[in-house]
Amino acid sequence: INKYGQTEQWCTNAVSTTYETSVWRSIRNLWPRLVNNSCYQVIAGNKILFWKDLWIGQEVLMQVFPDLANICTNLEVTVADSWGWNFFFRRHVNDWEIGRFVELLQMIDGFKGTTVEDDAFRWKHDKDGKFSVGRIYRKEVSWLPENKIGPWKHVWKSMAPTKVKCFA
């Protein structure tokens, strides 16, 4: 993080220069795939953005309620800072927006609250929510026919040392 910087709570800045570590650049370039297959679990609520992160429902609240997000004073507010559902809008809510505001309150009504533990980033495709390289690999190759996977399956199952497997 010190070397590349961090603009988001969960991810470093993109690596775009040619002289940077190509391994890290390759890993960092996979971030959008990881995000699309993950979700946030609110525990303390201090790392998860109320409007911009997927923490409740199937879409981020900014996409579900763009009209309310547009009049919000701070889209970078965390779930913890929003606790108590105190919303700060640039202006009073109009009559025709009250229904949308009620929808938002109904959506977040089931949220149980926050605790002192850290928020978590969860893998969507397993019940335990734990991410591993093996799990994302299985997800990525699951739709490929057997002949398209290539020799990689055999490399990882071999008895060779991990160093050799990584550079095969």
Q: How far apart are CA 68 and CA 114, in angstroms?
A: 23
| Coil, helix or strand at residue 90 | coil
Q: How far apart are CA 119 and CA 43, in angstroms?
A: 5
The answer to whether 118 touches 45, Cβ cutoff 8 Å, is: no
Question: What is the residue extent of each domain of the chain?
Answer: 43-120, 132-168
Q: How far apart are CA 41 and CA 56, in angstroms?
A: 9
- pLDDT at residue 2 in the model: 43
The answer to whether 153 touches 145, Cβ cutoff 8 Å, is: no
- pLDDT at residue 168 in the model: 56
pLDDT tens digit sequence for 65-91: 999 999 999 888 888 888 777 788 889
What does the block give as tokens for 113? Answer: 């609250």
Mean pLDDT, to the nearest integer, of 106-132?
77
Please report which helix (H) or strand (E) contains residue 153, including its range: helix 152-157
- pLDDT at residue 70 in the model: 92
pLDDT tens digit sequence for 124-157: 777 787 777 777 777 776 666 665 556 666 666 7
Three-class DSSP labels, 24-81: HHHHHHCHHHHHHCEEEECCCCCCCECCCCCCCCCCCHHHHCHHHHHHECCCCCECCC
Q: Classify burial at 25, counting beta carbons within 10 Å of its beta carbon; exposed 0-12, middle 13-18, buried 19 or more.
A: middle
- pLDDT at residue 5 in the model: 47
Mean pLDDT, to the nearest integer, of 82-107?
86
pLDDT tens digit sequence for 3-24: 444 455 555 566 566 655 666 6
pLDDT at 165 over 80: no
Q: How far apart are CA 20 and CA 11, in angstroms?
A: 17
